Structure 1
C-alpha cells in the first residue's frame, strides 16, 4: 500500500470523532452524510477493526478507535508543527507543548526552567500539568514528562534519560537543635522527635542510612509526627517540630539561607533517579528539542538538588 493510501479517510475519521456525529462532521467538511458514512466504512474495512460504536442516538469511539484517534491526532499535529517549523526562523519557535511534572519537584525545580525559556520564546504556549504516578507520554498525549521513580520499562515510542539522583539528607531548624541538642550518631535519633512520611492507612515510610561501606540500609524510626506530603514535612521542620529526612532539592533554599541545618551528614544517601521521557517522533521539532536541551542542562547540573 502506498503511503498516501494510508492517509485516506483520516481527516474524516478525526472530524467525526471530534464532532460526535456523522451529520455534524458532514456539515463541517461540506460533504453528504452518505459520503461520511462510506469513508468511515472504507477505513474500518482497511484497518479490519470497528472504530465507532453506533446506536440510534449515540456515536462513540471503541477502545481501538480511541487508540487510533490518539495516533491520528498526534500525526496531524506533527504535520502542522512541521509546517510551522519551515515557516519560522530560529528565533520564531511557536505553538503549544504539553509537559507533565511531579508535584513538589516540578514546582520547585522544573517550572522555573520552563519560565526562563518562555521569556525568550513568547510564542511558545506551554500546557503544564502535575501528577505523581507513572505517565507514558505517548498514551497520555503529552510531549514530555519528568518523573522521580525507579527505572521504568519505557515503550519503544518513548525516549528517556536519567538526569540525576535525589540526595536524601537529615535536617532540622536551628531553634529545634538549640533546644534539643545536635545528634552525633544514628542512635542519638532515638532521643529526638522525628518527622516521617506516612499514609492514611497508617503505613510510615522508613528512613535510609548510609553505612560507610557504600551500601544503604532502611529502618523505621519512632516518628513523633507523620505527614503525608513532602512540603508539609518541610513546614513542620521549619516550625521546629523535629528532624526529618528529605530530598535536598526540596530544602536547598532553606539550607542556603540558614533556616534549616543538615545533621548527621555522613548518613546521607542517594535517593531515586530523576527521569526525563518524551515522545520520540516529536524530538526533532525545534520547540521540543529546545525544551529537552533546557531540561537536560538544568536538571543534570542540579544533580538532585
Structure 2
C-alpha cells in the first residue's frame, strides 16, 4: 500500500537542488533555514542515502541525489499535469517529456518528427537523448524510446509497438566499382576491400547473407580492410571509395537517391533488426506521451515494413 510518508520532503528537496543552497530554498518556500535542513535530514534518514555533498562553500547533489532528483521532478511534473488534464479543455500536450533515440536513426528519422511535434505544441518541453545501448526506461525516467533490436519479451511495465525491420544491403561508391569491379557473388568479396563495423574491444560485426531458401540468413565474418565503430562513419568511408560495406538502407537512402552510393549483390540483401517504439505503460494516458506516441507511430515508418 502506498504511504503518504514517501511524499514528505520531496518538494523541499527539489527546491534545495534547484536553488543550490538551504538559505535560498528557505527564502523561496517562506520557511526557516532550520526547517529546510531538518526536512532534508529526515528525507535522507528515511531513504538511507546522502542526497547532498555539503561543504562550507558548496552544496552539490550526490550520485544518489541526482538520480532521486530526476525521479522527483518527473513525479511533480506529472502530478501537475494530471491535475490540469482533469479538465477537458486541458488535453494539450505540455510539460517535460523524456525521449531516448538510437544515434544515427534518431537523428535522421525520428528527431525531425519530434521537432515538428514540439513546434506544434508550445507548452511541450522535450528532453532528447541519443544512445545505442540497452536502457531501462523505468529506471532512467524515459517516457518514450525508439529502439533498434531488443528482447522478444518486453517487461510488463513497458508498452511496445513493432514499426518495421531494417533492410541490410551491400553498397559501394561508383568510383570504387569503376576501379575494382562489381562483385557478382559473395565469394567475389574476398577480392575486395570490405568495410565492417567494429567495437573498441577489437570484435567486429559479421555480415548477413540471404540463404538459398526464403527467410534463410547466413552470418559470416569478413576479412576487413577497414573497421569503423560508427554507422555514420561507415557511410563516410564507403562514400569516399574505400570499399564495400553492408548498411541498413535507411542510413544511406539519400546517397542511393543521389547516386553517390550504389547497391551491389542485391540478391544477398537481408532483413535486419526490428525497430520498436517503447514507452512506460502507466504514463501513456498523459496527453504529452499519448500524442507523441501517435505521431511517431504514424510518421516514423509510415509505409514500409523493411527500411
TM-score by length of 2: 0.82
Residues 1:164 and 2:164 are matched in the alignment: yes
The corresponding residue for 1:234 is 235
Offset from partner CA, 1:59-88 (integer Å, 9 cap, x none):
666776665544332221101222444568
| Structure 1 segment 145-164 matched on structure 2, within 5 A | 145-151=145-151, 155-164=155-164
How much does 1:92 deviate? Answer: 4.2
How much does 1:29 deviate? Answer: 1.4
Q: For the Cα contact (< 8 Å) 2:85–2:91, is it kept in 1?
A: no
Q: For the Cα contact (< 8 Å) 2:52–2:65, is it kept in 1?
A: no
| Residue-pair matches, total | 304
The corresponding residue for 2:183 is 183
- 2: distance between equivalents of 1:20 and 1:129? 25
Q: For the Cα contact (< 8 Å) 2:77–2:96, is it kept in 1?
A: no
Structure 1 residues 111 and 41 mapped into 2: Cα distance closer, same or farther (>3 Å)? closer
| Structure 1 segment 203-282 matched on structure 2, within 5 A | 203-213=203-213, 214-282=215-283
Q: Give 5+ residue unaligned stretches, structure 2.
A: none
The corresponding residue for 1:36 is 36
- 2: distance between equivalents of 1:224 and 1:10? 56
SS in 2 for 1:244: strand
- 2: distance between equivalents of 1:118 and 1:254? 29
Q: For the Cα contact (< 8 Å) 1:53–1:61, is it kept in 2?
A: yes
- 2: distance between equivalents of 1:263 and 1:72? 52
Q: For the Cα contact (< 8 Å) 1:49–1:64, is it kept in 2?
A: no
Q: For the Cα contact (< 8 Å) 2:92–2:287, is it kept in 1?
A: no
- 2: distance between equivalents of 1:186 and 1:55? 64
Q: Give 5+ residue unaligned stretches, structure 1.
A: none
Q: For the Cα contact (< 8 Å) 1:143–1:279, is it kept in 2?
A: yes
Aligned-residue RMSD, C-alpha: 3.2
Residues 1:134 and 2:134 are matched in the alignment: yes
How much does 1:108 deviate? Answer: 1.1
The corresponding residue for 1:198 is 198
Structure 1 residues 35 and 130 mapped into 2: Cα distance closer, same or farther (>3 Å)? same
How much does 1:106 deviate? Answer: 0.8
Residues 1:287 and 2:270 are matched in the alignment: no
- 1: distance between equivalents of 2:197 and 2:44? 51
Structure 1 residues 28 and 240 mapped into 2: Cα distance closer, same or farther (>3 Å)? same
Q: For the Cα contact (< 8 Å) 1:97–1:124, is it kept in 2?
A: yes
SS in 2 for 1:31: coil
Structure 1 residues 27 and 152 mapped into 2: Cα distance closer, same or farther (>3 Å)? farther
How much does 1:132 deviate? Answer: 1.9
Residues 1:110 and 2:115 are matched in the alignment: no
Q: For the Cα contact (< 8 Å) 1:247–1:271, is it kept in 2?
A: yes
SS in 2 for 1:151: coil
- 2: distance between equivalents of 1:71 and 1:285? 16
Structure 1 residues 32 and 121 mapped into 2: Cα distance closer, same or farther (>3 Å)? closer
- 2: distance between equivalents of 1:152 and 1:62? 36
SS in 2 for 1:183: coil
How much does 1:155 deviate? Answer: 4.7
Structure 1 residues 121 and 176 mapped into 2: Cα distance closer, same or farther (>3 Å)? same
TM-score by length of 1: 0.83
- 2: distance between equivalents of 1:178 and 1:163? 37
- 1: distance between equivalents of 2:49 and 2:199? 44
Structure 1 residues 178 and 281 mapped into 2: Cα distance closer, same or farther (>3 Å)? same
Offset from partner CA, 1:122-180 (integer Å, 9 cap, x none):
44332222222222223223322222233277554433333222111111223333333
